[in-house]
């Protein structure tokens, strides 16, 4: 606790140096195994800035600066440059914690907490996360001493395991992962184009084109298609039709997704929103939404998407 309390002063000093003098402490939590520190700052602290804060704090730790306390009047403490928490109430006499080295005060703050005798007792400092907690307030979570070493050891073990898994080494691991992500992106695009080609083929007689009450209609079930792709597939199918209505449905893990597209010449008579609501009711949904030319809906009964197609056809027959 003493080490983590003292490191809040070092971190405060380093954060002001790296981010600017607008940084002030808004709160902290000091425990035996970790430290949390909230500061005023109106944007995310970058990875490079966090690494620089770590470097400055660990440099102060290696210098083994002495940590001293002294009682002073509040006025004298402020005049001497000691930092006080804005909004905090202090008595006439205050306790000032000074981190001193190289003939000067590295840090001076009004504080009543327990502290290390010197910064060297902290051992090692590591920032493990940074996040927003409120408008204009950022939070860093930190570890010191053995806990910080355990954290770094765990990261190294994970890197070694990942390197072995990807048949790479740590030095080139980032490049290996970047290449794999690019390959994955290309494969996904290829799969998407293949699915789109299958869906767009729905405008031919061989691919479910029917004439229902004088309207060209395509109702097709596509297995295990991501919902976000259905709209693109409906658009592609509409392009193959001079005039008509397209309904594509998919069942993903028991959940139904339905997208209806209507060519522009028919939207005055048939709204995709109305049609998709009929389909949604058949699959246990609560309606749907969209535009007259394109709408989508979902439902809890993925096994009933065939009934959704039939329900829309029945509506067209009776219209």
- The string of pLDDT tens digits covering residues 140-157 is 999 999 999 999 999 999
The pLDDT of 19-45, averaged and rounded, is: 93
pLDDT class of 78 with cuts at 50, 70, 90: confident
Cβ atoms within 10 Å of 152's Cβ, excluding its own: 13
- The pair of three-digit structure tokens given for residue 113, joined into one six-digit string: 């907490």
pLDDT at 279: 93
Q: How far is CA 10 from the centre of its chain?
A: 29
**Is there a contact between 258 and 283 (Cβ–Cβ < 8 Å)?**
yes
Q: How far is CA 265 from the centre of its chain?
A: 42
**Is there a contact between 296 and 276 (Cβ–Cβ < 8 Å)?**
yes
pLDDT at 87: 52
**Is there a contact between 18 and 52 (Cβ–Cβ < 8 Å)?**
yes
pLDDT at 206: 44
Percent with pLDDT over 70 in the chain: 93
d(CA 18, CA 6): 19
Residue 286 or 29, more confident: 29
288-291 and 245-252 as β-strands: parallel, antiparallel, unpaired? unpaired
pLDDT at 159: 93
Mean of the per-residue pLDDT values of the chain: 88
Locus of tokens 């790479």: 168
**Least confident window among 58-72, 79-93, 107-121, 219-233:** 79-93
- The pair of three-digit structure tokens given for residue 71, joined into one six-digit string: 């009682």
3-state secondary structure of 305: helix
pLDDT at 17: 94
The pLDDT of 260-264, averaged and rounded, is: 94
Whether residue 95 has pLDDT greater than 60: yes
Sign of CA dihedral 288, 292, 295, 300: positive
What DSSP letter does each residue of 212-277 carry, written as one string? ETTEEEEEEE-TT--HHHHHHHHHHHHHT-SS-EEEEEEEETTEEEEEEEE-GGGTTT--HHHHHH
Whether residue 107 has pLDDT greater than 90: no
pLDDT at 230: 85
Whether residue 219 has pLDDT greater than 60: yes
Cβ atoms within 10 Å of 134's Cβ, excluding its own: 11
Cβ atoms within 10 Å of 223's Cβ, excluding its own: 8
Q: Counting beta carbons within 10 angstroms of the beta carbon of residue 295, is it exposed (0 to 12), middle (13 to 18) or buried (19 or more)?
A: buried
Q: Counting beta carbons within 10 angstroms of the beta carbon of residue 248, is it exposed (0 to 12), middle (13 to 18) or buried (19 or more)?
A: buried
pLDDT at 57: 96
**Least confident window among 9-13, 172-176, 265-269, 283-287:** 283-287
pLDDT at 29: 93
d(CA 280, CA 318): 18
pLDDT at 88: 59
- The pair of three-digit structure tokens given for residue 308, joined into one six-digit string: 């959704």
d(CA 294, CA 288): 11
**Is there a contact between 275 and 295 (Cβ–Cβ < 8 Å)?**
yes
- How do residues 153-202 score in pLDDT, each as one tens digit? 999 999 999 999 999 888 999 999 999 999 999 998 888 777 766 666 64
pLDDT class of 265 with cuts at 50, 70, 90: very high
Which residues lie closer than 8 Å to 15 by C-beta, 6 or more apart? 23, 37, 39, 41, 53, 140
Whether residue 227 has pLDDT greater than 80: no
**Least confident window among 166-170, 284-288, 297-301:** 284-288
d(CA 227, CA 257): 6
């Amino acid at each position: 606790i003493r080490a983590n309390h003292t490191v809040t002063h070092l971190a405060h000093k380093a954060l002001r140096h790296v981010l600017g003098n607008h940084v002030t402490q808004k709160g902290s939590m000091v425990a035996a195994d970790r430290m949390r520190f909230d500061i005023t700052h109106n944007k995310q602290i970058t990875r490079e800035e966090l690494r620089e804060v770590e470097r400055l704090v660990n440099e102060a730790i290696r210098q083994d600066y002495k940590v001293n306390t002294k009682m002073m009047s509040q006025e004298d403490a402020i005049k001497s440059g000691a930092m006080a928490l804005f909004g905090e109430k202090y008595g006439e006499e205050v306790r000032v914690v000074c981190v001193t080295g190289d003939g000067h005060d590295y840090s001076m703050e009004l504080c009543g907490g327990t502290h290390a005798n010197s910064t060297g007792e902290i051992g090692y400092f590591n920032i493990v996360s940074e996040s927003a907690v409120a408008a204009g307030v950022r939070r860093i979570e930190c570890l010191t001493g053995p806990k910080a070493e355990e954290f770094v050891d765990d990261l190294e073990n994970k890197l070694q395991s990942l390197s072995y898994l990807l048949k790479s080494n740590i030095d080139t691991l980032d490049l290996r992962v970047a290449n794999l992500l690019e390959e994955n992106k290309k494969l996904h695009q290829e799969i998407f184009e293949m699915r789109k080609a299958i869906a767009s083929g729905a405008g031919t007689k061989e691919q479910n084109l029917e004439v229902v009450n004088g309207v060209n209609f395509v109702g097709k079930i596509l297995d295990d298609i991501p919902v976000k792709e259905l709209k693109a597939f409906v658009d592609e199918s509409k392009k193959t039709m001079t005039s008509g209505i397209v309904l594509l449905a998919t069942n993903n893990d028991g959940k139904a997704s339905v997208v209806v597209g209507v060519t522009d010449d028919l939207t005055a008579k048939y709204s995709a929103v109305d049609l998709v609501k009929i389909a949604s009711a058949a699959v246990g949904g609560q309606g749907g939404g969209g535009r007259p030319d394109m709408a989508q809906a979902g439902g809890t009964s993925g096994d009933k998407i065939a009934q959704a197609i039939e329900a829309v056809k029945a509506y067209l027959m009776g219209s």
